[in-house]
C-alpha cells in the first residue's frame, strides 16, 4: 500500500493554507501538492501557506515539489511560505541547503500577518 498523503485547504483572510499530513514523497504526495498549488494560482490566489506540521517524511521528490511550487508561485506574482516545519523535514531541507530559500514560520497567526493585506 502506498503511503498516504492528505491535503486540506482552508482560508484565513486572503491567505490560503494547505494542511499537509503524511509523507510528501514521489507519487501521490508530490502530485497532490502540485495540483493544489496549480489550482490556487489558476484561481488567482496569491498568498499560499503550506503547513508541514503533520508531514513525517519528505523525499527528494517532495523537496522538488516545494521548490517548484515556490518558483511557480513567484512566476505568477504570488507568495508561498512554509509553516511549522517539523524536525525531520527541517533537517532534510537544511541538508539540501534550501532553508534560506523559504520563509518559514512557527506561528500561524504570524505567518498570516507576514503576507500583509491584498
What would the mean pLDDT of 83-88 be, rounded to a whole number?
Answer: 92
Q: Where are the domains of the chain?
A: 11-113
- What pTM, to 2 d.p., does this model score? 0.94
Confidence at 118, pLDDT banded by 50, 70, 90: very low
CATH class of 11-113: alpha beta
Contact 107, 82 (CB under 8 A): no
HEC profile of the chain: CCCCEEEEEEEECCEEEEEEEEEECCCHHHHHHHHHHHHHHHCCCCEEEEEEEEEEEECHHHHHHHHHHHHHHHHCCCEEEEECCCHHHHHHHHHCCCHHHCCEECCHHHHHHHCCCC
Residue 28 reports pLDDT greater than 90: no
What is the pLDDT of the chain when averaged over all its residues?
93
Smallest CA-to-CA distance from 114 within 52, 49, 51, 69 is with 49
pLDDT of residue 46: 97
Amino acid at each position: 500500500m502506498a503511503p498516504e498523503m492528505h491535503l486540506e485547504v482552508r482560508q484565513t483572510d486572503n491567505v490560503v493554507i494547505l494542511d499537509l499530513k503524511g509523507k510528501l514523497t514521489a507519487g501521490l504526495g508530490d502530485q497532490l501538492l502540485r495540483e493544489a498549488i496549480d489550482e490556487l494560482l489558476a484561481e488567482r490566489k496569491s498568498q499560499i501557506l503550506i503547513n508541514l506540521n503533520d508531514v513525517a517524511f519528505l523525499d527528494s521528490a517532495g523537496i522538488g515539489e516545494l521548490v517548484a511550487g515556490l518558483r511557480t508561485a513567484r512566476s505568477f506574482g504570488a507568495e508561498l511560505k512554509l509553516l511549522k516545519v517539523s524536525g525531520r523535514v527541517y533537517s532534510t531541507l537544511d541538508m539540501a541547503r534550501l532553508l534560506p530559500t523559504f520563509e518559514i514560520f512557527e506561528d500561524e497567526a504570524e505567518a498570516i500577518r507576514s503576507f500583509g493585506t491584498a
